[in-house]
């Protein structure tokens, strides 16, 4: 089965002093989605940005804003990210005790809902919420920082989740986040991923290199 393969550029590796320009530049370079990493210094050991920044970048692209919420608690902030212009909001299975309620809240705001699984979280975490999901995201690094190495055993998790998604018969995206580059994108796609987050590998070298970086990812994906 052939499915479209999407590149979601993680702006964590962008120049934050020029975020609007950076978003326009990677949009023009041909990425499919813009991946926005929200970190709270509590769920993950780093702090990045909030709804105000999502609102600020929204006018700079018409592409999907793929908002990755690495925050706990998360429910009380969903409305603000929805109003700021998120298209997809991905929450972590590990971020709170009432995941089903959180996913219902995202859907209730009229947004696409994603579920992220940390590297040690088993695939079974999706079982009783899969019917409400638009995206399942495999964290192939521990969340918190860009530029980390891909954890190889997550390929098995991608394959297991692909089987679960196909069994539903629904068009649920399978996203992989962390350490993706031309060296491993084909293996992630063969395992069953169809949305590839790329931070370091999109932004490396600065704006003159974005088009070539994205082309290298597309060529290598096989």
Nearer of residues 40 and 177 to Zn ion, judged by Cβ: 177
Q: Is 134 a catalytic residue?
A: no
When asked if residue 148 is in the footprint of ligand DX5 (CB under 6 A), the reply is yes
| Region of 7-15, 16-24, 104-112, 162-170 interacting with ligand DX5 (CB under 6 A) | 7-15
Q: Which helix (H) or strand (E) segment is 18 a member of?
A: none
- Helix then strand then coil, % of the chain, to nearest 5: 40, 20, 35
- Cβ 136 vs Cβ 127: under 8 Å: no
When asked if residue 195 is in the footprint of ligand DX5 (CB under 6 A), the reply is no
When asked if residue 88 is in the footprint of ligand DX5 (CB under 6 A), the reply is no
Distance, in Å, from the CA atom of 190 to the CA atom of 35, rounded to the nearest integer, reads: 22
Residue with tokens 């990812």: 217
- Name the residue whose CB lies closest to Zn ion: 68
When asked if residue 144 is in the footprint of ligand DX5 (CB under 6 A), the reply is yes
Residues in a beta bridge with 198: 9
Which residue out of 27, 40, 66, 177 is catalytically annotated? 177
- Cβ 141 vs Cβ 119: under 8 Å: yes
Nearer of residues 61 and 108 to Zn ion, judged by Cβ: 61
CB of 137 to ligand DX5, least distance (A): 9
- If we measure between CA atoms, which residue out of 138, 218, 146, 141 comes closest to residue 182? 218
Q: Is 87 a catalytic residue?
A: no
Positions that interact with ligand DX5 (CB under 6 A): 10, 12-13, 35, 37, 68, 141, 143-144, 146-148, 177-180, 197-201
């Amino acid at each position: 089965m052939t499915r479209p393969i999407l590149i979601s550029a993680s702006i964590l590796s962008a120049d934050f002093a020029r975020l609007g320009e950076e978003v326009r530049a990677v949009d023009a370079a041909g990425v499919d989605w813009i991946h926005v990493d929200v970190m709270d210094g509590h769920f993950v050991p780093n702090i990045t940005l909030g709804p105000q920044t999502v609102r600020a970048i929204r006018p700079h692209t018409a592409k999907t804003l793929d908002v990755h919420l690495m925050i706990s608690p998360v429910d009380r902030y969903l409305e603000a990210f929805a109003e700021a212009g998120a298209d997809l909001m991905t929450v972590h299975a590990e971020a709170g005790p009432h995941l089903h309620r959180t996913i219902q809240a995202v859907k209730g705001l009229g947004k696409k809902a994603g579920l992220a699984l940390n590297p040690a979280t088993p695939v079974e975490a999706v079982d009783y919420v899969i019917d409400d999901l638009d995206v399942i995201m495999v964290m192939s690094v521990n969340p918190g920082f860009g530029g980390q190495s891909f954890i190889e055993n997550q390929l098995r998790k991608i394959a297991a989740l692909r089987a679960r998604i196909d069994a539903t018969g629904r068009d649920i995206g399978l996203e992989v986040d962390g350490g993706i580059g031309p060296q491993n994108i084909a293996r992630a796609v063969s395992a069953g991923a169809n949305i590839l987050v790329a931070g370091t590998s999109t932004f490396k070298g600065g704006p003159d290199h974005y088009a070539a970086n994205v082309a290298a990812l597309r060529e290598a994906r096989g």
